Amino acid sequence: MILRYIFILYSLVVTINIIFAENLKSGRYEIIQSWSQENSFPRPFWVRVPSSMEGRVLPLFIFLHGNGGNAENAQVMFRRYKNAANNYIMVFAQGYQRSWNIVSERSKAPDREFIEAIVTNLIDYSNVKTGGVVLMGSSNGAALVNQIAIETRLNYFSHYITLVSQLNDWQHDGSFFKAKGNENNYTKSILPLKGKRLMNISGENDKLVPYAGGSSTGIRAKDGKLHFLDAELSTFLWAQHYGYSGKQLTQPSEVRDKYDTYSYMNGSVVHYKMKNRAHNAGGGLTEDMLSEFLKN
């Protein structure tokens, strides 16, 4: 009788724990990974849950810093984007050796798996929405956003935002998207998931990631310097993959003093050409631009 009572009580406790799942809270978290450079390595990320939205279920917004960046410090930039910061659970992931493993970085870490693990772990919390995940990156972080958009099989992602890094020609060979592979050889063609939204921002005077495509002035690759596709072509290739059947835009959809807009599929895929900006073009992203892109 006692054993039966304990069993019933235990079952009740388990049931309650399942029904009343834990809420995600702001703070530092870790994903443990092993690869050629590390064994059981704790990879950190920071979570910010808006206090004003306590009790609501919110989607995730993940930001990936650029090369040499710091995830914890990157939180400061989102003071500019109050709408996003107040309506999403913000996540700031830290790259191994302050970089993300694209083509020829010092880091050989499994970064796509790291970001996917963050998502699959956090959606188990009761205040986290299972879909509508926004993934945004700057420079080297944007390169990883592109790679995740190419390779991931997780359907939780809905919006991709790439600041100052369009596709490089390892990721797309002019005909096909390419999976990175374990040795970063990018030899396997792959069909990315469809039905996503993508925004790219690039600076017309950028030399590190050349706006018109070609070799970077400073980013290494296995064959010398990393080559990039033309920024406008890169956006068109994404639009084409997501279902756009027309020709590439040769004239902007909208012209403003600070930027030109190239918009496909009613803004589902959009490129902003930042005038008179270089690798700092991400600073031209306004809250209105971001909110307009995220509203659908």
- Alpha-carbon distance of 266 to 170, in angstroms, equals 29
Least confident of 75-84, 204-213, 268-277: 75-84
Residue 5 has pLDDT above 80, yes or no: no
> Where is 236: in which H helix or E strand?
helix 231-241
Task: Give the residue-averaged pLDDT of 9-34.
Answer: 67
Place of tokens 């050796």: 97
Average pLDDT of every residue of the chain? 92
9-18, 49-58, 278-287, range with greatest mean pLDDT: 278-287
Residue 262 has pLDDT above 60, yes or no: yes
- Alpha-carbon distance of 243 to 86, in angstroms, equals 32
The whole-number pLDDT of residue 195 equals: 97
Helices 111-122 and 140-151, interaxial angle, to 10°?
70
Q: Residue-wise over 202-237: b if at least 16 C-beta within 10 A, else e?
A: bbbebebbbbebeebeebebeeeebbbbbbbbbbbb
DSSP state of 132: -
Q: Kindly give the pairing relationship between strand 214-221 and strand 197-203.
A: unpaired
Residue-range domains of the chain with CATH: 27-294 (3.40.50.1820)
Place of tokens 């970085």: 105
The whole-number pLDDT of residue 79 equals: 87
Sheet holding 254-255, edge to edge: 27-35, 38-48, 89-93, 60-64, 133-138, 157-163, 197-203, 269-274, 259-264, 254-255
The whole-number pLDDT of residue 13 equals: 37
Q: Kindly give the pairing relationship between strand 157-163 and strand 188-190.
A: unpaired
Token pair in block for residue 207: 């030399």
Residue 3 has pLDDT above 60, yes or no: no
The whole-number pLDDT of residue 223 equals: 79
Binning pLDDT at 50, 70 and 90, where does residue 19 land?
Answer: very low
Token pair in block for residue 78: 């989102």
In this structure, what are the phi and psi dihedrals at residue 88, rounded to the nearest 5 degrees?
A: -130, 155
Token pair in block for residue 178: 């390419």
Q: pLDDT digit string (tens) for 91-132?
A: 999 999 999 999 999 999 999 999 999 999 999 999 999 999
Binning pLDDT at 50, 70 and 90, where does residue 77 land?
Answer: confident
- Alpha-carbon distance of 66 to 74, in angstroms, equals 10
Task: Give the residue-averaged pLDDT of 246-271.
Answer: 98
Three-state SS at 12 = helix
- Alpha-carbon distance of 246 to 265, in angstroms, equals 10
Task: Give the residue-averaged pLDDT of 9-19.
Answer: 35
Handedness of CA 109, 111, 112, 115 (dihedral sign): positive
The whole-number pLDDT of residue 52 equals: 81
Residue 133 has pLDDT above 50, yes or no: yes
Residue 169 has pLDDT above 60, yes or no: yes
CA atoms within 13 A on the CB side of 107: 20
The whole-number pLDDT of residue 234 equals: 98
Three-state SS at 205 = coil
The percent of residues above 90 in pLDDT, for the chain, comes to 88
Residue 210 has pLDDT above 60, yes or no: yes
